[in-house]
Amino acid sequence: VVRLGPRLAEVCAEWPRSSWRPVGQARRPLSTSERVPRICIVGSGPAGFYTAQHLLKHHKLARVDIYEKLPVPFGLVRFGVAPDHPEVKNVINTFTQTAQSDRCSYYGNVTVGKDVTVEELQQAYHAVVLSYGAEDNRILGIPGENLSGVYSARAFVGWYNGLPENRDLKPDLSSKTVLVLGQGNVALDVARILLTPLDLLRKTDITEGSLAAIASSKVKRVWLVGRRGPLQVAFTIKELREMVNLPGARPILDPADFAGLRDAIKDVPRPRKRLTELMIKTALEKPGEKEAKIWASATREWGLKFLRSPLEILPTADGKRARGIRMAVTRLEGSGESATAVPTGEVEELECGLILSSIGYRSLPLGSSVPFDRKHGIIPNHLGRVQGVPGLYCSGWVKRGPTGVIITTMNDSFDTAQSVLEDLQAGMLNVSNTKEGFESVRSILQSRGVHPVSFSDWEKIDAAEVARGQLAGKPREKIVDPQEMLQLIGH
């Protein structure tokens, strides 16, 4: 209860409360807590942070709390982006600003769905945005998939990027030939990390453990295998260019795969055209001086195989490990992005001891209270509003599917934030019904023995990682054990 001076009390008596718009400083004592939208975001990757950013910028009162199951924030920016792509990670700076702003709080080490339910969050907040991404991968669904020596690219990436759940992967890198199933940017990333000269990898934030394993790797050749043709590759030109220019490595592209392709791309949009032209040039033309030098002294190779669909992963005699793969030879029906691969009846076998399946990430359902479309692997929604559940929203890969780069997720997150802002403006989120936000959740977590990690706790972990990295000439040495992280901050 606030005591008003006599003149102010008169004025307030005249004006109906609903017409008050707080102006100036945010710390006015009058009724602000009743009109403050409290919004909860589940997931602290780019989707979560961009959604938070947009909400905070375009609503002067809203308070946003970001929950994250790991102690540390940033999702795929920390655990997905390749160690040799530090520029892409610059977005962490803007996310850090958001996390440090007044009306934003970060709560790490809280698993929504286990430590606190979505329903409990909906009790505590006016709006809940699910931005928890895609933590699983698509399955090949072929025999031999579970043999030793077969890994999802997602787990492999998690391993070299220090994702706690993948720290004990111990991939067997003693095979000379590696097969990557899939021709997207993740496939190129894993190929590149396997083939990059060690003295370059050493200076990145790749984990110490994986660096040591890669240092004793016998891998000499990596194939990226796709079911369709060159015109359907999912990787983008910057990443392909990096492979073509990779020191110490030479491309193996079959000219027959590219015959007649120049004509086929005459009228396609520029991005696809330039990408295909680079492949054609690499496959068919004599290399320029720079490339010729690299290729002449290359000790490692990478290549693209097209029109091959995996049928079975073949085991060693003892039945325990992968020794090769049997693939169906396909042909294309239709053209362009919608072309499909149809088996021809022919079959091919290839020997290899390490197979990485890079056919896509996959989101998982959160619980029975959140609808989930299993066929498409997304939460059914319209413009980010979860179907049938007022006050529940989603953004990022769990909303759209697991493709796209940071800008895709940024735009998508802004869209969802826009839906929340519209609903606030239209009175659909009943902000006059006071919600306690984290204050309600705090006691729930306490009763369950869960200790959230704050953003300043993360900053301590961050500082420790950077300090350890400095000793090794790296930007940071990631801590891969969540217990170690928690001990560091005194939890």
Question: Which residues here bind another protein, judged by CB under 8 A?
Answer: 50, 53-54, 57-60, 84-94, 96-97, 100, 200, 203-204, 236-238, 241-242, 245, 247, 270-271, 274-275, 383, 405-407, 410-412, 414-415, 418, 421-422, 425, 459, 462, 466, 475
* 68 annotated ligand binder: yes
Closest approach of another protein to the CB of residue 62, in Å: 11
CA–CA separation, 119 and 109 (whole Å): 19
* 484 token code pair: 């170690």
* 183 annotated ligand binder: yes
The number of beta carbons lying within 10 Å of the beta carbon of residue 268 is 16
Closest approach of another protein to the CB of residue 50, in Å: 7
CA distances from 387 to 284, 368, 422, 425, 476 (A): 51, 14, 16, 20, 42
Q: Which is nearer to another protein, 14 or 87 (CB)?
A: 87
Closest approach of another protein to the CB of residue 355, in Å: 29
CA–CA separation, 255 and 307 (whole Å): 14
Break the chain down into helix, strand, coil percent, rounded to 5.
40, 20, 40
* 227 annotated ligand binder: yes
Closest approach of another protein to the CB of residue 93, in Å: 5
* Sheet hosting strand 354-357, strand order edge to edge: 150-152, 354-357, 177-181, 221-225, 300-305, 249-252
Q: Which is nearer to another protein, 305 or 474 (CB)?
A: 474
Closest approach of another protein to the CB of residue 129, in Å: 16
Please name the residues in contact with 385: beta carbons below 8 A apart, sequence gap of 6 or more. Answer: 392, 393, 419, 423
Q: Which is nearer to another protein, 150 or 417 (CB)?
A: 417
CA–CA separation, 378 and 371 (whole Å): 9
Closest approach of another protein to the CB of residue 274, in Å: 6
In the chain, the amino acid numbered 490 is G
* 228 annotated ligand binder: yes
Q: Which is nearer to another protein, 44 or 175 (CB)?
A: 44
Closest approach of another protein to the CB of residue 245, in Å: 6
129: DSSP letter: E
Burial of 344 (0-12, 13-18, 19+ CB in 10 A): exposed
Q: Which is nearer to another protein, 330 or 409 (CB)?
A: 409
Cα-Cα-Cα-Cα dihedral sign, residues 213, 214, 219, 222: positive
Closest approach of another protein to the CB of residue 149, in Å: 30
Q: Which is nearer to another protein, 270 or 286 (CB)?
A: 270
Q: Which is nearer to another protein, 111 or 403 (CB)?
A: 403
Q: Please say whether the beta carbons of 464 and 121 come within 8 A.
A: no
The SS3 assignment for 74 reads coil
CA distances from 359 to 126, 184, 256, 335 (A): 37, 8, 25, 20
CA–CA separation, 28 and 211 (whole Å): 54
Q: Which is nearer to another protein, 266 or 290 (CB)?
A: 290
Closest approach of another protein to the CB of residue 308, in Å: 27
* 122 annotated ligand binder: no
Closest approach of another protein to the CB of residue 72, in Å: 12
CA–CA separation, 80 and 68 (whole Å): 16
Q: Which is nearer to another protein, 7 or 266 (CB)?
A: 266
* 405 annotated ligand binder: yes
Q: Which is nearer to another protein, 303 or 475 (CB)?
A: 475
Closest approach of another protein to the CB of residue 172, in Å: 28
Q: Please say whether the beta carbons of 409 and 47 come within 8 A.
A: yes
CA–CA separation, 177 and 211 (whole Å): 19
Q: Which is nearer to another protein, 129 or 328 (CB)?
A: 129
* 239 annotated ligand binder: yes
CA–CA separation, 387 and 384 (whole Å): 9
* 418 annotated ligand binder: no
CA distances from 297 to 24, 65, 254, 278 (A): 67, 54, 20, 22
Parallel/antiparallel/unpaired status of strands 392-394 and 127-130:
parallel
Residues tagged in the binding site annotation? 47, 68, 76, 112, 183-186, 227-228, 239, 397, 404-406
Residues tagged in the binding site annotation for FAD? 47, 68, 76, 112, 397, 404-406
Residues tagged in the binding site annotation for NADP(+)? 183-186, 227-228, 239, 404
